[in-house]
Amino acid sequence: QPAQLRLQEAQASLRLARAQAVERELNYQRQKRLLAAGSVAQSVVESALASSEQAKAEQVRAQAEQALAHRELDRTRLIAPFAGRVVARHAQPRTVLPAGQVVLDIESAAGQEVVAAVPLALAETLKPGDLARASSTTDGTSGFDLALEGISPRADDGLVRTAVFRVLRPASRLPSGITLLVQMHPDAGTQPLSVPVQALWMGTGSNSAEVFVYQPGGTVALRSVSLGTVKDGRALIASGLAG
């Protein structure tokens, strides 16, 4: 890789410059001692000093060259903003690309999201934490639950707004790029129950937890719940406390 080779060349030049700087500094100190002993002329010491300063300047230049080579190498690397896997490649290796070109599609290894186009009238009534149902069939019998993460303030084509839902409890990991039918729950307009995150005992999954619930008679019970979004230190309860 050219950038890697340029970095190696810059590192070698820096090592050479450092060695020369040390050598010429030692020579300058030696000439000073000889001058004090009356063995050399003042001009010899001045020449050694100039040579030492020149070597130090060359060392600074080599350090700058190495920094530039490091920067060039860093710009050849693509670092994903999150852990995941590559699901699509839009450019071949060693291809010259224009600025802003999409190179890879990366799928997060964490929780999945569903992006939906919501009519403007419905979008005005929604808020983060509202629940929905997604399925690949019109009857929704084989679907799974969603929680609204957020909704775009922009209206696409003046007709719909983009909403992002977090997948709560899929039976298995969903393939990316599929088309789903999303239906808001009838009670999506009501405020869902939320509890402080300090009151939760987190489970093994990112969306599962346990919470103590007061029962009639002054007792408490530990209930398993599924979580929606977390905002301002409070977690929305998606399910597990009904009844």
Q: Which positions ≥6 away from 81 have C-beta within 8 Å? A: none
Residue 128 has pLDDT above 80, yes or no: yes
Q: Please give the model's pTM, rounded to 2 decimal places.
A: 0.45
Residue 180 and residue 115 share a domain: yes
Q: Which domain holds residue 178?
A: 111-184
Q: What pLDDT, on the 0 to 100 scale, is given for residue 188?
A: 46
Look at residue 92 and tell me if it is in a domain.
Answer: no
Residue 165 and residue 147 in contact, taking contact as beta carbons nearer than 8 Å? yes
Look at residue 41 and tell me if it is in a domain.
Answer: yes
Tokens of 219: 């007792």
Tokens of 91: 């450019």
Look at residue 217 and tell me if it is in a domain.
Answer: yes
- Show contacts of 36-44: CB within 8 Å, 24+ apart: none
Mean pLDDT of the chain: 84
Residue 139 has pLDDT above 60, yes or no: no
Look at residue 98 and tell me if it is in a domain.
Answer: no
Residue 171 has pLDDT above 70, yes or no: no
Look at residue 86 and tell me if it is in a domain.
Answer: no
Q: What pLDDT, on the 0 to 100 scale, is given for residue 15?
A: 96
The domain tally of the chain equals: 3
Residue 170 binned pLDDT confidence (cut-offs 50, 70, 90) = low
Of residues 238 and 183, which shows the higher confidence score? 183
For the chain, give the percent of residues with pLDDT over 90.
32
* Mean pLDDT, rounded, for 94-118: 83
Which tens digit of pLDDT belongs to each residue from 51-98?
A: 999 999 999 999 999 999 999 998 888 888 778 888 888 888 878 888
Look at residue 95 and tell me if it is in a domain.
Answer: no
Cα separation of the two ends of the chain: 64
Look at residue 230 and tell me if it is in a domain.
Answer: yes
Q: What pLDDT, on the 0 to 100 scale, is given for residue 142?
A: 67
Provide the CATH number for the domain around residue 126: 2.40.30.170
Residue 103 has pLDDT above 60, yes or no: yes
Residue 192 binned pLDDT confidence (cut-offs 50, 70, 90) = low
